[in-house]
Structure 1
Amino acid sequence: MLFERTDNLRLRLAPWDIGEPNLKNGNCVVLKIGRNGPAWYIDDCMKRKPIVCRLTNEEPMSMVPQTVRCPDGKEDWILGETHCYHLVSNISMFSSGFKADHDCFKVSIKVF
């Protein structure tokens, strides 16, 4: 999965909401602004959702070439400002706690 704004600028990633990612809810990632701040959750892609628009009188910024990229073999990972993120979508690979740390380490050194 790749998350991209319509202006092609990178996203500043927020944490997953409590109980997320829950792939039983759908396969689209949506940002929700709650009282604890922004959080990602998964929802049905066919549901109508609000959008965020930015209006300005300023000239649009010129596109700056992206100089940061994920390592070779990990181009399908999600590029953040300083890190690359891998979203596990196979439910059999879900884990938590110390096992999650270990599993993430294994995935990060494995070249796909």
Structure 2
Amino acid sequence: MFVTPAFAQAASGGAAGAFTSFVPLILIFVIMYFLLIRPQQKKLKEHKAMVEALRRGDQVLTGGGIVGKVVKVHEDGIVDVEIADGVKVRVMKSTIVQVMSKTEPAAA
């Protein structure tokens, strides 16, 4: 039985052959990081900054689709939102999706 030169060359790969087999996996992870993970982290960071910047008088949109005006911002992550005249709702800061209009800061 004769061994063809192709089989003989494939058998001698060693560490270089193992590394080249992982290169596609590494490339897939890098592409996934730049296309999915990094933009999601950036979006979360922007949302956190938006929620921390909430103040009285801002018009906001909640995750449930309710539009209202911020009446009071509590320390424990809760916001009082007025959705109609005399109707106030307590909402978690994290459920606020968008700030529709910002109020100008008071002149010091």
TM-score scaled by length of structure 2: 0.24
Which is higher, the Rg of structure 1 or of structure 2? Answer: 2
Q: Which has the higher contact order (CA 8 A, sep 6+)?
A: 1
- Answer 1 or 2: which has greater helix percent: 2
